């Protein structure tokens, strides 16, 4: 693998956590591989959060670094190689705080959640809280990165509009 130095500077110092949630689905391994390889090629470090949100709550071996080679032969495998789990612990505020501490212990400053959405039309209180946090985090990252991304300013403005349009109850 050869890394373009200009591209590597984009991700330098960033640590990305990746998890899958909501159940297994076709294409999740391809998405995991794409995120890992893209991030690594841009100089970021990527951490698998095994067993979805429960792995984030549990920490320890539930969070481990992934390299380019770690995702080299996962496309043919079914489900998701990093696992998924509907976490009761994460539904409670104490569980979410524990998850946040575990992410901070690994220096993870960004999170990619590959989701099989089975959410009904109504959103529960904890789902609304998580959605609001994701919306704020995405908006903050976009705001922080916007000055470096002047070439794609129209796209940034479009994303800002989409973020604002996300309904949060």
Per-block mean pLDDT, blocks of 10 residues, the chain (169 long): 59 88 82 91 93 94 95 87 88 88 90 70 60 68 68 68 66
Residue 92, pLDDT score: 85
Q: Do residues 82 and 48 touch, judged by C-beta distance below 8 A?
A: yes
What is the topology classification, in CATH, of domain 1-118?
Answer: Rossmann fold (3.40.50)
Q: Do residues 28 and 80 touch, judged by C-beta distance below 8 A?
A: yes
Which residues touch 127 (CB under 8 Å, ≥6 apart)? 119
Which is nearest to 32 in space by CA: 13, 53, 46? 46
Residue 33, pLDDT score: 92
Q: What's the CA gap between 76 and 27, in Å, rounded?
A: 10
Residue 48, pLDDT score: 96
Residue 122, pLDDT score: 47
Positive or negative: CA dihedral 13, 94, 124, 164? negative
Run of H or E residues at 104: helix 93-105
Which residues touch 67 (CB under 8 Å, ≥6 apart)? 36, 40
Domain map (residue ranges) of the chain: 1-118, 120-164
Residue 55, pLDDT score: 94
Q: What's the CA gap between 68 and 154, in Å, rounded?
A: 32
Residue 2, pLDDT score: 54
Residue 8, pLDDT score: 57
């Amino acid at each position: 693998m050869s890394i373009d130095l200009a591209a590597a500077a984009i991700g330098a110092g960033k640590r990305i956590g990746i998890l899958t949630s909501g159940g297994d689905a076709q294409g999740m391994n391809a998405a995991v591989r794409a995120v890992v390889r893209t991030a690594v090629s841009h100089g970021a470090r990527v951490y698998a959060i095994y067993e979805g949100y429960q792995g984030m709550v549990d920490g320890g071996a539930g969070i481990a670094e992934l390299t380019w080679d770690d995702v080299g032969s996962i496309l043919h495998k079914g489900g998701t190689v990093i696992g998924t789990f509907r976490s009761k612990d994460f539904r409670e505020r104490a569980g979410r705080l524990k998850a946040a501490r575990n992410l901070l212990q690994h220096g993870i400053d960004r999170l990619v959640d590959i989701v099989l959405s089975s959410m009904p039309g109504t959103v529960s209180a904890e789902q609304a809280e998580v959605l609001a946090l994701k919306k704020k985090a995405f908006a903050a990252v976009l705001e922080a990165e916007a000055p470096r991304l002047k070439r794609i300013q129209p796209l940034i403005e479009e994303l800002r509009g989409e973020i604002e349009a996300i309904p949060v109850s």
